[in-house]
Structure 1
Amino acid sequence: MRIAVISDIHSNSQALYRVLEDIGQNGVDGTISLGDTIGYGDDPCGVLQLLKNNNILSTLGNHELALLNSRYRERFRGGARAAIEHHLSLIPRNDLDSMATWPFFLVESGGRFVHGLPPDSVMGYLSRTPEHQLAGIMALLPQTVSFVGHTHLLGGVVLEDRMVTRFSLGKKILFLDKACRYIINAGSVGQSRDWDGRAKYIIWDVLSGTVEPRYVTLV
């Protein structure tokens, strides 16, 4: 079983289309989105249609939560707030109703999928959470690996012998040690924030226990 994990598309249908092409060329059995499918970009409806056409499961992101919850939307400022309000006028009612059913997390094939931080936070940041707090979270997780988004940055943390170590994901395949616990950030499809304009996602091979970062050129 090979699962593509995508995140933070942010209404960039062109980037998602190119990523889905790459996924299709890599023998993937299914795809899971970690949320923030909308926000910022100019084509939320196109993104939602691509997700539906490709039977892609998605968890709730903080931008979906802002779209659906007016009280949470008040926390947004500037362009992020303006985009949410504009997208609210574009997205059909049936798509909003469908989005409202998206879960805060998914557990599939022995892995956990959540937008922000395990076990179920759409707002927590992996990069901002202290190591001692991460150690406590990870020690309680029954899954060896959890996948998150939200920061738009490929990377992760590993818990080994009660010690948390942060690591970056370059282009090499990561081999998961079953004796450890991992939280891995899948990067961003639609809004790069790492000075590399390519779309990023990861492929998790469940049987071989590997995580492969993928970089997709958009131009």
Structure 2
Amino acid sequence: MRIAVLSDVHGNRVALEAVVEHLRRANPDVVVNLGDLVSGPFDPAGCADLLMSLGHETIAGNHERQLLESGTGASDAFARPRLTEAHFKWIAGLPATLTLADGEVFACHGSPAGGDLEYMLEDVRSGRATLAPEDAILGKLTGIGDARVVLCGHTHIPRVAYVRDVLIVNPGSVGMPAYSDDMPVAHVIESGAPHARYALLEKLSSGWSVDLRAVPYDFGLAARQAEQAGRYEVSYSLRTGRMPAE
């Protein structure tokens, strides 16, 4: 069985189209999208239309919840007036988690135990993202049932970890390679490259293999969309995979 995993498109249809084309060659059995779908300074409506047409297994991230709850963050505020009633109906019907492969794979946006805002694998207390201690990760696995694979997004950092016989995979972000946030402390997330990210998992006789993929696309076009929305820090990240120095 081959499972393709996408996350954190953030309305970047240009990046999404490149990943979709790449997926055709990968030919997975199922594609799962881990949320944060359309909130971003790009093409929210066009991205929603494409995602709806693809019919991927899709869950809601924190930005879907924030869109429905009238959150005032810049990405949600940009997306909300550009979405239609049909888009909101689709978003409202998305589940928070999914199980795949007869319960062997558990998919969430943040963490199984902490919800859509909790970082599953990253520790940001230093102001930058590092791999969290094993015990801290273990405490976030409550609620996965008998799953041996956990798929998570939210932090935009492609990463694979193995904790007490559980394989944890973050595919990285399709559409936004870097960002900064003030919660839980001020920190910067940087993937280090502008490529659109996704992961391909395959079940082998010896266990699950993971291929973290980085797909090139027209970074400049997406960056110009962000500039037109007045999001110059996002534009910089789309060209570099890093946040601008303060």
TM-score for the superposition, normalised by structure 2: 0.73
Structure 1 residue identity aligned to 2:155 = T
Name structure 1 gaps, 5 residues minimum: 75-80, 161-179
Q: Return the offset for 1:42.
A: 1.6
CA offsets per residue over residues 36-95 of structure 1, 9 Å max, x none? 01122321111111112211121111111110013xx25xxxxxx133123111111121
What corresponds to 2:149 in structure 1? 145
Query: What secondary structure does 2:28 align onto?
Result: coil
What corresponds to 2:95 in structure 1? 103
Structure 2 residue identity aligned to 1:24 = R
* Aligned counterparts, 1:1-219, within 5 A: 1-70=1-70, 73=71, 81-109=73-101, 110-119=104-113, 121-126=115-120, 127-128=122-123, 131-138=134-141, 141=144, 142-160=146-164, 180-193=165-178, 194-208=191-205, 209-219=208-218
Structure 1 residue identity aligned to 2:159 = G
Moved >6 Å (runs of 4+): none
Q: Return the offset for 1:155.
A: 0.7
Name structure 2 gaps, 5 residues minimum: 124-131, 179-190, 219-246
Count of equivalent residues: 192
Please say if residues 64 and 99 of structure 1, whose CA atoms lie closer than 8 Å, have aligned partners that are also in contact: yes
Query: What secondary structure does 2:27 align onto?
Result: coil
Query: What secondary structure does 2:23 align onto?
Result: helix
Q: Return the offset for 1:211.
A: 1.2
Please say if residues 105 and 120 of structure 1, whose CA atoms lie closer than 8 Å, have aligned partners that are also in contact: no
CA offsets per residue over residues 83-115 of structure 1, 9 Å max, x none? 312311111112101111111100011211111
Identity of aligned pairs, percent?
Answer: 30
CA offsets per residue over residues 91-143 of structure 1, 9 Å max, x none? 11121011111111000112111111124711111213653232234376321
Structure 1 residue identity aligned to 2:86 = N
Query: What secondary structure does 1:138 align onto?
Result: coil
Structure 1 residue identity aligned to 2:195 = R
Query: What secondary structure does 1:96 align onto?
Result: helix
Q: How far apart, CA to CA, are the structure 2 residues paired with 1:139 and 1:210?
A: 23
Structure 1 residue identity aligned to 2:214 = Y
CA offsets per residue over residues 147-172 of structure 1, 9 Å max, x none? 11111001132113xxxxxxxxxxxx
Query: Taking structure 1 as reference, are residues 20 and 89 closer, same or farther at Cα in structure 2, changes over 3 Å only?
Result: same
Please say if residues 104 and 120 of structure 1, whose CA atoms lie closer than 8 Å, have aligned partners that are also in contact: no
Structure number with higher relative contact order (C-alpha < 8 Å, ≥ 6 residues apart): 1
Query: Taking structure 1 as reference, are residues 205 and 83 closer, same or farther at Cα in structure 2, changes over 3 Å only?
Result: same
| CA RMSD across the alignment | 1.8
Query: Taking structure 1 as reference, are residues 118 and 124 closer, same or farther at Cα in structure 2, changes over 3 Å only?
Result: same
Q: How far apart, CA to CA, are the structure 2 residues paired with 1:213 and 1:82?
A: 29
